[in-house]
Amino acid sequence: MGITKNHIFDEYQNETANITKVLGHPARIAIIQHISQHEYCNCNDLVEATGLAQPTVSQHLSEIKKIHLLTQKHQGKNIFYAIDLDVLNQYRRKINDFFVKIQVNCQK
Amino acid sequence: MGITKNHIFDEYQNETANITKVLGHPARIAIIQHISQHEYCNCNDLVEATGLAQPTVSQHLSEIKKIHLLTQKHQGKNIFYAIDLDVLNQYRRKINDFFVKIQVNCQK
DNA sequence: TATCTTTATTGTAATATCACGTTATCACAA
DNA sequence: TTGTGATAACGTGATATTACAATAAAGATA
């Protein structure tokens, strides 16, 4: 049905999948990379960098925003995006811990 | 179009997204967890553990197999699945490095 | 005010994904 | 060889995702 049965999985499983799902598209990986490499990065920069149309980039940005990985600063007509480092680090640990737990379980 | 323009992204971006995409569904997180916790785990165990139908579990297993995260041992009519720890660890480092690189870029 | 820039929203077409019933396959057992 | 149990493959319906054109909204600037 294209519809995920979230209710049959626990919070940890859903949260983990929500984060990795957002990272599960090369355009979003590229967007996150580009923002991290350019201090004042707006939507047009990302359109140029990725080669995708502006609405497509905007859509991907909104997915990334949903998990609070981005901050935005309005400056005139521009919106400059940046990575929320606290959130990034939290997710880094969360995903790494997932892998480590799997590994530890296997070795019992 | 529901179709990802993989060709406009580089190998690193596509590879990273391919891994996280597979982890981007709670059923697959649950399946990986369950396999790691049970030494002799077959498809029926996963059907019971997740509450999903057998074909659905089989489909998710095949997604996880595509990135070589699983090994399988045929034993009579059973197939016992296990995590490939080398691949797991490789992916753990790859994803963690992605996060770290983003973090480092931001701090320049 | 009128216009330009930048970004978000809306609408839509094409494709992918999720879930499962049904069927096929394959190993073993009676 | 017939049946049973386990898994994969096939087919299909429902929903989600990806991508973009067109449009709207909101802030500059002439």
pLDDT in tens, B38-76: 999 999 999 999 999 999 999 999 999 999 999 999 999
Is there a domain that residue A75 lies in? yes
Cβ neighbour number for residue A34 with a 10 Å cutoff: 17
Look-up of token digits 């995590």: B83
Residue A101 lies in a domain: yes
Substitution target from A14, A40, A105, A108 for chain B, most B beta carbons within 10 A: A105
The residue written with tokens 């320049």 in the block is B108
* Closest residue to B99, CB basis, from A16, A88, A102: A88
Q: What CATH number did the domain enclosing B52 receive?
A: 1.10.10.10
Confidence bin at B108 (pLDDT 50/70/90): confident
Give the pLDDT confidence of B3-21 residue by residue, as tens digits.
Answer: 999 999 999 999 999 999 9
Residue B1 belongs to some domain of the structure: no
**Cα–Cα distance measured from residue B73 to residue A15, given in angstroms and rounded to the nearest whole number:** 31
Structural domain harbouring A67: 6-106
Describe the crossing of helices A26-37 and A43-50 by its angle, rounded to 10 degrees: 120
Q: Can you tell me the distance from the alpha carbon of B5 to that of A99, in angstroms, rounded to the nearest whole number?
A: 29
Q: What is the dihedral of CA A8, A97, A81, A36, to 10 degrees?
A: -140
Q: For chain A, which ranges sit under pLDDT 70?
A: 1
Flag whether A60 is in a domain.
Answer: yes
What's the CA–C1' distance between A75 and D28, in Å?
A: 11
pLDDT the model gives residue A72: 96
Is A1 inside a domain boundary?
no
Establish if B35 belongs to a structural domain. yes
B51 lies in some domain? yes
Give the ranges where A2-84 is alpha helix by DSSP (H): 11-23, 26-37, 43-50, 54-66
Are B17 and A6 a contacting pair at CB < 8 A? no
Per-residue confidence band for B25, with pLDDT thresholds at 50, 70 and 90 = very high
In this predicted structure, what is the pLDDT of residue A82?
98
In a domain, A25, yes or no: yes
pLDDT for A54 equals 98
pLDDT at residue B1 greater than cutoff 70: no
Closest CB from B13, B24, B52 relative to A17: B24
Residue whose CA is minimally distant from D18 C1': B2
Which residues in B lie closer than 8 A to residue A4 (C-beta atoms)? 25-27
For chain A, what is the domain count? 1
Return the SS3 of B55: helix
Q: Which residues pair with A80 in a beta bridge?
A: A73
For the CA of A9 and the C1' of D24, the distance in angstroms is 40
